[in-house]
Amino acid sequence: MVAADSEGSKDPGVRQADLGLLVHWCVLPFRVLLVLTSHRGIQMFESDGSIMVYWHALDSGDASPVQAVFARGIAASGHFICVGTWSGRVLVFDIPAKGPNIVLSEELAGHQTPITDIATERAQGQDCVADMVTADDSGLLCVWRSGPEFKLLTRIPGFGVPCPSVQLWQGTVAAGYGNGQVRLYEASTGTLHVQINAHARAICALDLAPEVGKLLSAAEDTFVHIWKLSRSPESVSIEAAPLL
């Protein structure tokens, strides 16, 4: 059992996910950590939850008294763990092979509104490859190359609605939006390949089975859909076919 810092808003209309109370298993090359976020900070535990190895308090900085402070969006990339924040910054933590000597190595500043989600994909040793995408409340997507210094490769503009969930598959960004759309972009260029009016209400989450190229979307309309992703051999563009 893990004791999370769960004190937060008493407003019944505010969901815990909106406050950034999230839990995520981060699988690194040499260890697995359990990462929790709340409005107060970021906690990292050993995989069995027995020992908290790191605590990072959130700095409210220039936030106004009525502005919520939280961390939201968690993903592992190589030996780094990346966590999004209310300010739009992404915190990058350098994780050692063992022990508690975790270091905040970098803060990525590609967004101006709160981070909603982060997705990563193993780069498999390729140079200049896009292996991380971050999304925010404005719908903006930032595509990054991870490494000792993360590099911003491209920005994919929003269109006035939030992007609550993103996934990466073979260099393709799958993004789910507040208007029910799923969009597929080329990660390296930001080119839009597919736009699907997938749901009648806002998308809550996307999930991916990368080995078989299946994308799942769940939304506030209570429906779950499954899509088969593939690359057209003629045009090398991405295609999505409904399965459910």
What dihedral angle (degrees, nearest 10) is formed by the CA atoms of 202, 205, 77, 20?
A: 70
pLDDT of residue 14: 38
The rounded distance, in Å, linking the Cα atoms of 203 and 200 is 9
The rounded distance, in Å, linking the Cα atoms of 89 and 83 is 9
Give every CB contact of residue 218 below 8 A, 6+ residues apart in sequence.
203, 204, 205, 206, 207, 224
**Is the pLDDT assigned to residue 244 strictly greater than 70?**
yes
Among 50-54, 167-171, 232-236, 239-243, name the one with the lowest average pLDDT. Answer: 232-236
CA distances from 63 to 58, 67, 209 (A): 11, 6, 38
Beta strands in 47-122 (DSSP E): 52-57, 71-77, 80-85, 90-94, 103-108, 115-120
pLDDT of residue 223: 97
The rounded distance, in Å, linking the Cα atoms of 144 and 156 is 12
pLDDT, mean over the chain: 88
pLDDT of residue 11: 40
Q: What is the DSSP letter of 213?
A: T
Express as a percent the part of the chain with pLDDT over 90. Answer: 75
- In degrees, to the nearest 5, what angle opens at C-alpha 185 toward C-alphas 118 and 79? 35
- Contact predicate 119/168, CB 8 Å: yes
Greatest alpha-carbon pair distance for the chain in Å reads 55
pLDDT in tens, 48-104: 888 999 999 987 766 666 678 899 999 999 999 999 999 999 999 999 999 999 999
The rounded distance, in Å, linking the Cα atoms of 110 and 97 is 29
Tokens of 105: 């190595």
The rounded distance, in Å, linking the Cα atoms of 106 and 84 is 12
pLDDT of residue 129: 84
pLDDT in tens, 219-234: 999 999 999 999 877 7
pLDDT of residue 65: 66
The rounded distance, in Å, linking the Cα atoms of 222 and 205 is 12
pLDDT of residue 9: 44
